Structure 1
Amino acid sequence: MSAFIVAAIAMLIVMVPAGVTIVRGTAADAVVGYQFITAVAVMILALLAEGFKRPSLFELPVLLAVLLYGSGLVYVRALERWL
C-alpha cells in the first residue's frame, strides 16, 4: 500500500466530522461543510489515481473540481434567504 492510498484513507476519515456538521449545523455551517467535503473528495480521487498508478483517472478529479465549484454556487444561491 503506497503513501498516496494511506493519505486518501486518512482524508476519508476527516470527512466524517464535516458530514456531522452538515447534518446537525446551521445553514451557514452546512455550506462550509459542503465546500470542505467537495474539496476533500477531489483530493481523495486524485490521490487514489496516483496511488493506483492510473494517470487516466486524473480526468475525473479535474472535471469534478470545476463542476463542484458551480454546484457550490447553486447551493449557496438556494440557501440565500436563510443565510
Structure 2
Amino acid sequence: MNPWLLTAAVLLLAILPCGWVCLRGRLMERFAALQMAQLLSVIVLILLAEGYGRENYFDLAIILAILSFASALVYIRFLERWL
C-alpha cells in the first residue's frame, strides 16, 4: 500500500462524522456536512487516481466536483422556504 492509498483510506474515515451530522444535525449543519462529505469524496477520488495510476478517476473527480456545486445550489433553493 502506497502513501496515496493510505491517505485515501484515512479521508474515507473522515466522512463518517459528516454522515453523523447529516443524520442528527440542524438544517444548516446538515448542509455544511453534506458539502464537506462531497469535498472529501472528490479528494479521495483524486488520491485513488494517483495511487492506482489511473487517469479515469481524475475525470470522475472533476465531474463530481461540478455536480456537487450544482447540487448545493439546488439544495439551498429547495430549503430557502425554511431558512
Note whether the superposition's TM-score is higher than 0.5: yes
Provide Cα deviations, 1:55-75, integer angstroms capped at 9, x if missing partner: 232100011111110111101
Helix, strand or coil for the counterpart of 1:81? coil
- Greater RCO (Cα-Cα under 8 Å, separation 6 or more): 1
Q: How many Å apart are 1:76 and its aligned residue? A: 1.2
Report the TM-score when normalising by structure 2: 0.94
Count residues in correspondence: 83
Match of 2:37 in 1: 37
Tell me how far apart the structure 2 counterparts of residues 14 and 29 of structure 1 sit (CA, whole Å).
16
Q: Distance in 1 between matches of 2:32 and 2:57?
A: 27
Q: Which runs of 5+ in 2 are unaligned?
A: none
**Runs ≥4 residues deviating over 2 A:** none
CA distance in 1, matches of 2:20, 2:57: 29
Name the % identity. Answer: 37
> What TM-score does the superposition give when structure 1 sets the normalisation length?
0.94
Where structure 1 has 5 or more consecutive residues not aligned to the other structure, the ranges are none
C-alpha deviation, 1:80, in angstroms: 1.3
